[in-house]
C-alpha cells in the first residue's frame, strides 16, 4: 500500500465517520424496520412530542395533574404507543398502496384538502400538537387518510378491517432496534 492510498483510505474513513456522526445527531438512523421500511429516530421523536403535547393539553382540559406525564413509566408508554402507531401506519399504507396503486395519492390529497379547509386549523394544530400545518399533514393527516381509504375499500368488499390489521400485524416482519422495546408478533411492547 502506497502512502497516497493510505491517505485516501484515512480521509475516506474520516469523512464516513463524520457523516455517520451527523446522521446520528440529527436522528437519521433507524429505530425500527417494518417489512423493510424504516422508521427513523427523527420520525419517532416528532410523533412522540406531538403525542406528549396532545396528552398534556387533554389532561389540562379535564383538570387532571399534568405531572403524571413526567413519570418515566408514562413517557415510556407514550413512546411505545407512538412507535406502535408508526408500525401500524406503515402496514396500513402498504396495504392501501397495494390495493389502490397510483390512485392512492390522488384520493389521499382529496381527503386531506377537505380536512385543511378550516380557517383556524393552523392555530389549533399549533396549540394542540405543537406542529406546523405541513408537519401535521405529513405526520397525522396522511396516515389517517390512508386508514379511511383502506377501511372504506374493505367495507365495500365486506372485509373486516380490524381482523385484517390483526392478521397483517402477525405476518409483518418487524424489527425493533430500541433497547427498551420489542415486537411480540402483534404489537410493540415494553421489555
Count of domains for the chain: 1
Read off the CATH number of the domain in which 87 is found.
Answer: 1.10.4030
Q: Model-level pTM?
A: 0.84
Residue 19 lies inside a defined structural domain of this protein: no
- Domain ranges, residue 134: 28-190
User: What burial letters (b/e) apply to 67-102, b meaning 16+ CB within 10 Å?
Assistant: eeeeeeeeeeebbbbbbbebbbbbbbbbbbeeebee
| pLDDT of 94 | 96
Per residue in 82-118, pLDDT tens?
999 999 999 999 999 999 998 998 889 888 887 777 7
pLDDT of residue 112: 86
In a domain, 20, yes or no: no
Residue ranges of the chain with per-residue pLDDT less than 50 = none
pLDDT value of residue 10: 79
53 within some domain: yes
Amino acid at each position: 500500500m502506497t502512502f497516497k492510498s493510505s491517505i485516501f483510505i484515512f480521509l475516506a474513513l474520516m469523512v464516513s465517520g463524520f457523516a455517520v456522526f451527523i446522521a446520528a445527531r440529527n436522528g437519521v438512523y433507524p429505530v425500527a424496520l417494518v417489512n423493510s421500511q424504516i422508521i427513523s429516530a427523527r420520525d419517532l421523536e416528532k410523533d412522540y412530542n406531538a403525542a406528549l403535547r396532545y396528552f398534556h393539553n387533554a389532561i389540562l382540559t379535564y383538570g387532571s395533574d399534568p405531572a403524571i406525564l413526567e413519570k418515566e413509566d408514562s413517557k415510556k408508554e407514550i413512546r411505545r404507543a407512538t412507535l406502535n402507531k408508526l408500525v401500524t401506519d406503515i402496514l396500513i399504507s402498504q396495504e392501501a398502496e397495494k390495493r389502490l396503486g397510483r390512485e392512492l395519492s390522488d384520493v389521499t390529497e382529496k381527503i386531506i384538502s377537505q380536512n385543511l379547509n378550516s380557517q383556524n386549523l393552523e392555530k389549533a394544530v399549533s396549540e394542540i400538537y405543537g406542529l406546523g400545518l405541513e408537519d401535521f399533514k405529513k405526520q397525522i393527516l396522511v396516515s389517517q387518510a390512508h386508514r379511511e381509504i383502506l377501511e372504506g375499500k374493505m367495507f365495500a368488499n365486506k372485509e373486516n378491517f380490524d381482523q385484517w390489521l390483526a392478521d397483517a400485524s402477525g405476518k409483518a416482519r418487524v424489527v425493533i432496534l430500541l433497547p427498551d422495546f420489542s415486537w411480540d408478533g402483534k404489537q410493540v411492547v415494553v421489555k
